[in-house]
């Protein structure tokens, strides 16, 4: 019985010690929270550090790279094709009127158009057949050839109403029922800065 009471006293003593320790800790925490920490006075010798200047974010206008377009880079292929056709018809008319050698066609055409026109002009001139008046043309459309970087197709109406073909005696070789306006397709190539006729394909339809 005495042993039990001794044990209870020791247990009660330990509980009292724990309670007092908890109370002391709580009082210490409350006192630290109630008493504000002293604010250090600024030093007179300290120099304030200036704030860094913010760097503006680059905008699209300042970062976009503008590539200048050099003069002559944007060549109008329609103008080049038209000029090539004009040169071709001018030389063809000149030679067909017996005012030049058929070899001149090499200045305005490449094979197979060159060979085709050369043989035609050579045969007619050797047969004493001479063209009078000019063959003219009207362009219907000019389009790039699909899959070709420097080849263009020109559909045009070839007009022979102001021209005629006459033999050595001056007789006309074109009858009254001859079609005077027919559709022809020309293929023009760009070689460097030059546009030149490369092929022609008569369609034969009236236009």
31 belongs to a structural domain: no
CA R_g for the chain = 51
Q: What is the pLDDT of residues 67-100, one digit of tens each?
A: 333 344 335 899 999 999 999 999 999 999 999 9
With a pLDDT cut of 70, the percent of the chain lying above it is 64
For the question of whether the overall pTM of this predicted structure is more than 0.75, the answer is: no
Residue 53 in 3-state DSSP? coil
CATH of the domain at 175: 3.10.450.240
174 belongs to a structural domain: yes
171 belongs to a structural domain: yes
21 belongs to a structural domain: no
68 belongs to a structural domain: no
114 belongs to a structural domain: yes
137 belongs to a structural domain: yes
170 belongs to a structural domain: yes
Closest-CA residue to 154 (of 93, 103, 99, 113): 113
Please list the alpha-helical segments (H only) found in the chain: 2-34, 60-63, 77-96, 113-126
Quick one: pLDDT band at residue 173, thresholds 50, 70, 90?
very high
Residue ranges making up the domain that contains 144: 77-206
Q: How many domains does the chain contain in total?
A: 1
């Amino acid at each position: 019985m005495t042993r039990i009471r001794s044990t209870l006293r020791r247990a009660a003593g330990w509980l009292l010690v724990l309670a007092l320790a908890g109370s002391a800790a709580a009082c210490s925490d409350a006192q630290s929270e109630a008493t504000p920490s002293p604010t250090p006075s600024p030093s007179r010798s300290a120099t304030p550090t200036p704030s860094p200047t913010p760097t503006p974010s680059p905008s699209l206008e300042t970062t976009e790279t503008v590539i200048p377009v050099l003069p002559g880079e944007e060549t109008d292929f329609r103008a080049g094709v038209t000029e090539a056709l004009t040169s071709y018809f001018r030389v063809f008319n000149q030679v067909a009127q017996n005012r030049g050698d058929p070899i001149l066609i090499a200045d305005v055409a490449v094979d197979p158009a060159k060979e085709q026109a050369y043989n035609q002009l050579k045969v007619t001139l050797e047969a004493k057949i001479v063209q009078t008046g000019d063959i003219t043309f009207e362009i219907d459309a000019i389009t790039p050839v699909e899959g070709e970087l420097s080849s263009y197709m020109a559909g045009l109406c070839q007009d022979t109403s102001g021209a005629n073909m006459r033999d050595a005696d001056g007789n006309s070789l074109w009858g009254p029922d001859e079609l005077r306006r027919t559709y022809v397709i020309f293929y023009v190539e760009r070689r460097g800065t030059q546009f030149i006729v490369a092929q022609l394909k008569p369609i034969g339809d009236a236009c």
